[in-house]
Amino acid sequence: MANQRRDAAIVGIYEWPKRVDPSVSAMQMKAASIKAALDDAGLKWSDVDAIYDAGDGDGGGGGLGLAAYLGLKPTVIDTTQVGGSSYEFHAAHALRDIAAGKAKVAVLSYGSKSATRRVPIGTGGGAGGGTWSGNMESPYGTTLIANYAMVANRHMHDYGTTSEQLAHISVATRHHAMRNPEAVQAMTDLQFVGVNEITIDDVMSSRVIADPLHLLECCMVSDGGGAVIIASADVARNTKKKPVWIIGSGEATKYRENGSDITTSAGAQSAPLAFGEAQVSPSEIDIAMIYDSFTITVAVCLEDLGFCKKGEAGPFVSTSGIAFDEPGKLTLNTDGGGLSSNHPGMRGIFLLLEAARQLRGESTSQVPGAKLAVSHGNGGLLGGTHTGGTVILAAD
Amino acid sequence: MPNRPQPDLPEHDTAAFWEGVKAGELRYQTCNDCKEVVFTPRAHCTACGSGKLTTKAAKGTGTVYTYSVVRQSRHPNFADLGAYSVAYVDLDEGFRMLSSIVGVNDPTTEIKIGMPVKVEFEKQDTGDYPIPVFRPV
Ligand SMILES: [Zn+2]
């Protein structure tokens, strides 16, 4: 703890409240979210000197295009695009750039219209042909969900994990979502069959999309956006809300290799880097914001982050108490997650937003006195090419 | 007959693989310098960076590493297949490829991890290239 770094902190946050919103463009969502997050921090538009962007707003040009759209002239631009974990990478890079003295006020933003545009994220075709990887994959019609399902099947084969165990993740996440008015509105607007608490049986009796994953183990497809302001320590001491310090980060990649273990993700490499830098252990973490594209993503990442041993996520999620009002030590995805609050395609920014809300005491499923949180994004395909981005956050 | 998407050729890394498929061969590569098995096909060794690779024909036998059965796909080419399998197959020569397991009545119950399989080159409704798929042996 003594040497835990205090170089940069999340000082402003904003999450776009609507999950189906035909009234704005994705770029408008980003700009308005940035303004709202700056207001939350008590900072000005012109204070921004660093932009991190995954090119998600469809405005073109990544960080450069966004700077022009916003009307800002940042001296740091980072257009890292590594899938849904891009925002964890951005937070890591912002920490480095601020610690190096290259920036003082960094902006991360997200905007996506996947629901309005009816993008079939999970069930559309895989990679197109014409590339070194697409030509080897497109003939087989692998959907995104089937890719994750292949991880689940191997996990079940190797460790005896069951669908009933994984269903606990869906149940706890929905429990949190029902306390979050924006998530309730999202499920209503997206015409969920039942906007209510769910049971293990509900998950098990929902239809199979790709064996062994059921509908209620899959994230929704929504619109959504938001922004995060990360500032240097001197700026953070004078902002409106209490700072949420970034105390460690790790970045890693993984892809299909001959003989490799599909049940281990890039998180196994990124998490030790982040925990090592933060000088905390997984057992000290209060809040885990883990990218829940599917139940299996959470299970694999909980293991890889060290919350349980490899292969033990099934018993862990079904017996340890992962909901905020259960006695267990670790609380998971308190905003309602991608499963029940929002998933516009790349959900990583929401992992940072809800972790920051928890450490400020502002969550709708607040864990009293939460001090340490981890945000872990898995970007790309869990059973194929993907990244793991781990960020450790601390309240004073 | 199935109507799987064709590879989009010419493409530098995968052209030789697909010419092999046309000739009834499942091709893979090994590195002349470090003996690494390279797959999917590339022009360099993924272990040492060497450009000296030898293309070989695999026996076509292996085991199912993992699989799923797609029950919902919006891809037009797969609309008529019903529930269809996708799988990673570990070939005996030491490489893993994405493919599909065919020749089972019910893919949701008959495909097993570890099941021995053999390649076959499945003719398609349209296009010059058959697609390598695997059948239980
Ligand atoms: Zn080599």
Q: Which domains does chain A have, with CATH numbers?
A: 8-117+221-395 (3.40.47.10)
Neighbours of B134 (CB within 10 A): 29
What b/e string do you get for A267-282 counting C-beta neighbours within 10 Å, with b at 16 or more?
Answer: bbbbbbbbbebbebeb
Question: What are A5-25's pLDDT values in tens digits?
Answer: 999 999 999 999 999 999 999
B55 close to A (CB below 8 A): no
Name residue A327's amino acid: P
> What's the rounded mean pLDDT across residues A267-279?
98
- Candidates B38, B68, B69, B93: best to mutate against A (most CBs of A within 10 A) is B68
How far is residue A143 CA from its own chain's centroid? 21
> What's the rounded mean pLDDT across residues A104-118?
95
Reply yes or no on whether the pLDDT at A173 is more than 60.
yes
| pLDDT given for residue A2 in this prediction | 52
Question: What are B41-71's pLDDT values in tens digits?
Answer: 999 999 999 999 999 999 999 999 999 999 9
Chain A residue at shortest CA distance from B17: A136
A135 and B95 in contact by Cβ < 8 A?
A: no
In 3D space, the residue among A42, A19, A380 whose CA is nearest the CA of residue A242 turns out to be A42
Reply yes or no on whether the pLDDT at A128 is more than 80.
no
**Is the CB of residue B130 less than 8 Å from the CB of residue B122?**
yes
CB proximity list for A385: less than 8 A, separation 6 or greater: A133, A253, A254, A255, A256
Rounded Cα distance, B100 and A359, in Å = 47
> What's the rounded mean pLDDT across residues A79-89?
98
Chain B residue at shortest CA distance from A129: B8
| pLDDT given for residue A126 in this prediction | 59
- Candidates A136, A137, A161, A381: best to mutate against B (most CBs of B within 10 A) is A136
Rounded Cα distance, A15 and A270, in Å = 26
Rounded Cα distance, A64 and A66, in Å = 5
B69 close to A (CB below 8 A): yes
A157 close to B (CB below 8 A): yes
Neighbours of A176 (CB within 10 A): 27
Tell me the two tokens of residue A281.
Answer: 């252990």
| pLDDT given for residue A127 in this prediction | 59
Reply yes or no on whether the pLDDT at A178 is more than 70.
yes
List the single residue in A139, A257, A383 with the smallest CB-CB distance to B7.
Answer: A139
> What's the rounded mean pLDDT across residues A187-208?
96
- Alpha carbon of A295: minimum distance to chain B alpha carbons (Å): 15
B1 close to A (CB below 8 A): no
Rounded Cα distance, A304 and A267, in Å = 5
A132 and B4 in contact by Cβ < 8 A?
A: no
Q: What is the pTM of this model?
A: 0.96
Question: What are A151-162's pLDDT values in tens digits?
Answer: 999 999 999 999
| pLDDT given for residue A269 in this prediction | 98
Question: What are A365-381's pLDDT values in tens digits?
Answer: 999 999 999 999 999 99
ipTM of this complex: 0.95
Tell me the two tokens of residue B135.
Answer: 């059948």
Reply yes or no on whether the pLDDT at A27 is more than 70.
yes
For domain B15-136, the CATH class is: mainly beta
- Alpha carbon of A261: minimum distance to chain B alpha carbons (Å): 10
Reply yes or no on whether the pLDDT at A1 is more than 60.
no
B113 and A130 in contact by Cβ < 8 A?
A: no
Q: Which of A71-75, A110-114, A188-192, B76-80 has the lowest mean pLDDT?
A: B76-80
List the single residue in A120, A129, A207 with the smallest CB-CB distance to B74.
Answer: A120
> What's the rounded mean pLDDT across residues A17-35?
96
A135: chain B residues, CB-CB within 8 Å: 7-9, 11, 13-14, 17-18
Confidence of residue A122 (pLDDT cuts 50, 70, 90): confident
| pLDDT given for residue A336 in this prediction | 98
> What's the rounded mean pLDDT across residues A25-46?
97
A129 and B6 in contact by Cβ < 8 A?
A: yes
Phi, psi (deg, nearest 5) at residue B23: -90, 5
Instruction: Please give the C-alpha separations between residue A214 and each of A153, A170, A189, in angstroms, as whole numbers.
Output: 13, 10, 21
- Candidates B21, B67, B98: best to mutate against A (most CBs of A within 10 A) is B98
Reply yes or no on whether the pLDDT at A218 is more than 70.
yes
A119: chain B residues, CB-CB within 8 Å: none
> What's the rounded mean pLDDT across residues A229-246?
97
| pLDDT given for residue B81 in this prediction | 77
Name the packing angle between helices A295-304 and A267-278 (round to 10°). Answer: 50
Rounded Cα distance, A319 and A295, in Å = 16
Reply yes or no on whether the pLDDT at A198 is more than 90.
yes
Rounded Cα distance, A346 and A18, in Å = 16
Counted across chains A and B, CB pairs separated by less than 8 A come out at 142
| pLDDT given for residue A4 in this prediction | 86
Rounded Cα distance, A192 and A392, in Å = 33
| pLDDT given for residue A119 in this prediction | 84
| pLDDT given for residue A307 in this prediction | 98
Reply yes or no on whether the pLDDT at A209 is more than 60.
yes
Neighbours of B93 (CB within 10 A): 18
Rounded Cα distance, A238 and A367, in Å = 26
Express as a percent the part of chain A with pLDDT over 90: 93
Reply yes or no on whether the pLDDT at B40 is more than 90.
yes
- Sheet containing A223-232: which strands, arranged edge to edge? A76-78, A50-52, A105-113, A223-232, A8-15, A244-254, A386-395, A372-380, A287-290, A331-332
A118 close to B (CB below 8 A): no
